[in-house]
Structure 1
Amino acid sequence: MRLHDRVFLLLGGSGGIGKALIAPLVGAGARVIVASRHPECLEHQEGVSPVYLDLAAADLDQQLARLNEAYPDIDGVIHCAGQNRFASLGKMPVAELDAQLMVNLRSALLVARHFAPRFEKAGQGALVFVGSTFGSIGFPGYTAYCASKFGLRGFTESLRRELADTPVQVVYVAPRATATAMNPEAVNQLNQALGNTMDPPEKVASEILRAMETDQRRRFLGWPERLFVVINGILPRVVDKAMLKQLPVIRRFLDSRALS
């Protein structure tokens, strides 16, 4: 996939991994349309157009239609928006469950539903989705997040196969733990206690661009996380036992007051 002279709609570009994607995309010669609920707060940059889009809104499909009318030259979408909450399921407010499903999964389906037919008709187009290692490995305290990311992985796999005889590219990239502002301090402390490596957003962004440029259909980031994904797929009981040993440490941070 070439990046030069492309027009990408970037979802989740106001922070974290999405924000780290903007400069290299523009540097590669792409134009970036950054969608946000607060476009007025985005920094002004050459080659970047901020637009309003609420991924959790009931009328997202209508918002996408209006966006398409305003920017008919969009030929690629990068969906790296996401919400999570580290909390036991019983303490998770229903509103936060809904938000994670709406933003992490429903919005991805609606974005693809809107743009895939248009890209197919145009003869080119790319749909890039940023998932998570937790889209392949269930982790205590992230039940809703894992559910949405498992769903995203399954969706991109089926969509890729559905569009296999078309020119539309479907790319799925799954980062491991990433050091973003979305993580509360308790999660940072948990990763440190478990010895989990946290990648900077800039490193993850570079891996996403590499997957796009080399036309990789799926890319899992981090070692040994990639190995754990494979083991969990074929021998899940091995991972069950490993998680059980970690559970006392996880519970210590899961039930901490910092998360209340």
Structure 2
Amino acid sequence: MRLHDREYLLLGGTGGIGRALIEPLLAAGARVIVAARRPERVPHRPGLSSVQLDLAGDDLPDQLERLSSAYPGIDGVIHCAGQNRFAAYDTLPLAALAAQLDVNLRSAMLVARHFGPRFQRLGAGTLVFVGSTFGSIGYPGYTAYCASKFGLRGFTEALRRELADTPVQVIYVAPRATATAMNPEPVTALNRALGNTMDTPERVAREILRAMARGDRRRFLGWPEKLFVVVNGVLPCLVDRALLKQLPVIRRFLDSGVTS
């Protein structure tokens, strides 16, 4: 898939992985429209535009209509916006639960519902969704996040198969732990304590672009994480045992009172 002379709508482009995607997309000759709640955070660059969009808004379908009317040349969407909250299932604030479901899953479904038919009429188009290893492996302290990312993985898989006889490409990329501001220091400390590798946003961005260039349908990042994904699908009891051994360390951070 060529990136040159494409116009991508980038969701989640003001931080983390999304921000790391901007420069390489522009360098490849693409035009980028960053949609965010705080568009003023987007730098002014040739080929780069910004627009306000609230992915958790009840009126998201109307917002998308206005956006695509203002930018009718969009022929690709990269959805890497996300909400996360490390907390025990029974202490997770309801607002945080709603935010994760709205931003991580509902907004992705509505974005696909809006742009998919347009890309079909256009005769080409790409929908890229950034998931997570936790979309395949349920992990303590991330029950709501896992639920939203499991849903995203299932949605993109079904959507890809539903659109298999159309020119619309659906790509799912699942990073492992990534060093972004979405992870507070206690989560970073937990990963250090468990020996988990955390990728940089720039590395993840390169993998996303590689998946796009190759037209990969799905791409899981990191070793041994992608092995665990396979094992969890075939012999989940083995992953159960491995996580049971980690549970005292995980509980130490969960019980510290840190929930964000």
Per-residue CA deviation, residues 163-215 of structure 1 (Å, 9 max, x unaligned), is 00000000000000000011011100000000000000000000000000001
| 2:102 is the alignment partner of 1:135 | no
Q: Deviations over 1:11-36 (max 9, x none)?
A: 00000000000000000000000001
Counterparts of 2:81 and 2:46, CA distance in 1: 22
> Cα deviation per residue 1:44-93 (whole Å; 9 max; x = unaligned)?
12211010000000000000000010000000000000000000011111
**Deviation at residue 259 of structure 1 after TM alignment:** 3.4
Identity among equivalent pairs (%): 75
Preserved contact between residue 186 and residue 259 of structure 1 (Cα < 8 Å): no
SS state of the match for residue 237, structure 2?
helix
Which range moved further: 121-130 or 249-258? Answer: 249-258
Partner of 2:95: 95
C-alpha separation between the residues in 2 aligned to 1:226 and 1:100? Answer: 23
Question: Where does residue 182 of structure 1 map in the other structure?
Answer: 182
TM-score (norm 1): 0.99
Structure 1 residues 116-135: aligned runs within 5 Å: 116-135=116-135
Is 1:110–2:98 an aligned residue pair?
Answer: no
Matched with 2:14 is 14
Q: Quote how far apart the aligned CAs of 1:105 are.
A: 0.1
Residue range with higher mean Cα deviation, 41-50 or 204-213: 41-50
> Which residue pairs with 2:145 in the alignment?
145
Q: What is the total number of aligned residue pairs between the two structures? A: 260
Letter in 1 for 2:116: A
Output the amino acid matched with 2:34. V
- Maintained 8 Å contact 1:37/1:52: yes
What is the CA deviation profile of residues 114-172 of structure 1, one whole-angstrom value per residue up to 9, with x for unaligned ones?
Answer: 00000001100000000000000000000000000000000000000000000000000
Matched residue SS, 1:90: coil
CA RMSD of aligned residues (A): 0.7
State the one-letter code of the partner of 2:3: L
CA distance in 2, matches of 1:211, 1:248: 37
Gaps of 5+ in 1: none
Q: Deviations over 1:224-244 (max 9, x none)?
A: 001000000000011001111
Q: What is the CA–CA distance in structure 2 between the aligned matches of 1:82 and 1:58, rounded to whole Å?
A: 17
2-structure distance, mates of 1:153, 1:258: 28
Q: What's the counterpart of residue 85 of structure 1?
A: 85
Q: Partners in 1 of 2:12 and 2:247 — Cα distance? A: 31
Q: Structure 1: how far apart are the matches of 2:144 and 2:47?
A: 36
Are 2:16 and 2:201, in contact at CA under 8 Å, matched by a contact in 1? yes
Q: Which amino acid aligns with 2:5?
A: D
Q: 36-45 or 163-172: which moved more?
A: 36-45
